[in-house]
A = this chain, B = another copy of it.
């Protein structure tokens, strides 16, 4: 059985010591009532619900899974009760707008809680995460009438929401969507078609489910410019706004998946279902993508959260498990063997996980703060810069965190030896649950393409330099001699590599667009490792200059480990990327 303890101290360190939310967050308009006490209370109460309500049904939810019978999905035992506790306490609406019943707290705090929930129970939290996406989308684009009818219930978690995008022939390429929407005389639309891979498409947690569906009018233009977005409830609302008659929405089956068994993944059939246009006709895709970016950050947090819980369990096991003796002599003379944590290689696995997890957590909270600035800062210029940084970092956040989630869950499973392969230790569930995050909400290959193809080039290419200049400033603030350039110097070296690689890539891509695809995934990795180095440098100096205590020592050692053992990967990646696209494109399809 696995356990989970929310890393509260680490959150406090980042918020209060590294990012100084006292000056950067509490001062924003709307957050005047927030102070350290409020934040600490949210952390502690959030930890409690994750540790005591969500995590206890994580393994049982995996083993039992969702079931499908007679057109209905049943969630695993305990999910319904956990859902009620979780939503009634307001955890699913933490950063949602107060006007529809949300708590209106900073997105930064929501990131904290969301990471905890992913750690505690990934399959459980998916539904709430998607519902939040639906709320944001309706908030941004829906008519007042639709807002009036649906938002309060969605914010409260009384109903959940889904995003119905994928069809069997249309995944990455949503321009291929074939679901039809036919205008009705009353202003509504009749939707017909079949969507697949719909997370939470059906379940027994709530009495209604609100689908956001991409569909095409009969006379719509071909491709991506002919797709509109519709709100389609499972049950139509009666005159009181309560779920009434059925609406031609049915669940055809659920998928048998590698993991996240506690979350239903549905085939949803729409049979002349009544839907309502959200936003403008034929603008469905850009509207959806605006919000998908937020969902992508959430999925990044899935990787981070699973890495954290896997780490905790692996570290505990490494301290407890007695097996063989240390290479430098007996360390536990009273036992029949030493705990395996005496071994440098076991520590390498744990420190690798920790360096990725804690580095990613810093990037996560920094991104949360940018979201709050983008939303609430009084200065338009500041808001724009924050928005730019978020746009740039989103694909890196999603792809890198989820790649690391899978890699570190695998490393932590390895710490358990043979016991890690057995279901009952729970480690293999973390690996299986982490795997999907590299795939959904746009595969990590698509994220990498978004970074190199779009984010490097839009706005006259100003985005990457915006971030790089922040690093320049940081480096300039840490010259040799003074506070020491222990971390600033290797960061500067990595940044030089990344900057030159970026310029090289932008140049060669102008000649041959395939260079983008050839570089994309490895380039994103170089980008992420360098950005993580910036965050590790920030944390490293705070820990070095802070109190001499156990927490700071561990942080400092982990920072040093990151620079010594993990950052050097970028050298080989840089060299590999520069070999270019030609080799990749040379073979004929039939030669594969």
Contact = CB atoms under 8 A, between A and B. Distances in A.
B564 A568 contact: no
Nearest to A331: B589
Given A258-B428, A550-B591, A414 B345 contact: no
Interface string A563-592: 011101111110110010101111111111
Contacts of A448: 345
B575 A571 contact: yes
B422 A443 contact: no
Interface of A: 166, 169-173, 176, 197, 255-259, 315, 318-319, 322-324, 326-328, 336-337, 339, 341-351, 354, 406, 410, 413-414, 417-418, 420-424, 428, 431-432, 435-436, 438-440, 443-445, 448-449, 453, 512-518, 520-521, 550, 553-554, 557, 560-561, 564-566, 568-573, 575-576, 579, 581, 583-592
Nearest to A351: B584
A591 B561 CA distance: 15
Contacts of A439: 414, 417-418, 420-421
Contacts of A346: 445
B579 A565 contact: yes
A568 B575 contact: yes
A176 B557 CA distance: 34
A344 B255 contact: no
Given A344-B581, A572-B571, A584-B344, A323 B432 contact: no
A576 B583 contact: no
Looking at chain A's contact residues, the main secondary structure is helix
Given A344-B584, A345-B518, A576-B568, A440 B424 contact: no
Given A344-B581, A448-B345, A584-B344, A513 B328 contact: yes
Given A517-B345, A576-B566, A584-B347, A421 B436 contact: yes
A591 B554 contact: yes
CB-CB nearest 4 A-B residue pairs:
A344-B517, A564-B579, A568-B572, A258-B428
Contact of A350 (B348, B565, B592): B592
A137 to B, nearest CB: 21
A432 B432 CA distance: 9
A318 B591 CA distance: 12
A568 to B, nearest CB: 4
Contacts of A521: 345, 348
A591 B550 CA distance: 7
A337 B573 CA distance: 31
Nearest to A255: B422
Contacts of A575: 568, 571
A201 to B, nearest CB: 14
Nearest to A561: B583
Contacts of A573: 568, 572
A499 B579 CA distance: 25
29 contacts: A169-B336, A170-B323, A172-B417, A176-B323, A176-B336, A256-B423, A257-B421, A257-B423, A258-B421, A258-B432, A328-B514, A342-B589, A344-B518, A344-B584, A347-B587, A348-B584, A351-B583, A351-B584, A417-B443, A421-B436, A421-B440, A553-B587, A554-B587, A557-B583, A560-B583, A561-B584, A565-B576, A568-B575, A571-B571
- Which among A256, A323, A421 has the greatest number of chain B C-beta atoms within 10 A? A421
B324 A173 contact: yes
A339 B169 CA distance: 12
Contact of A557 (B424, B581, B587): B587
B421 A435 contact: yes
Nearest to A519: B344
Contact of A514 (B197, B344, B514, B591): B344
Given A324-B173, A517-B343, A550-B591, A557 B586 contact: yes
B166 A418 contact: yes
A325 B397 CA distance: 26
Contacts of A568: 571-573, 575-576
Contacts of A350: 592
B589 A176 contact: no
A559 to B, nearest CB: 10
Contacts of A514: 326-328, 344
Contacts of A323: 169-173, 176
Contact of A516 (B256, B315, B327, B585): B327
Given A256-B424, A348-B518, A350-B592, 18 more contacts: A166-B418, A172-B324, A258-B428, A327-B516, A328-B514, A342-B589, A344-B516, A345-B449, A347-B592, A348-B521, A351-B583, A354-B592, A410-B435, A417-B439, A421-B440, A431-B435, A560-B583, A564-B583
Nearest to A551: B591
A568 B578 CA distance: 11
Q: Which of A318, A439, A444: most chain B CB closer than 10 A?
A: A439
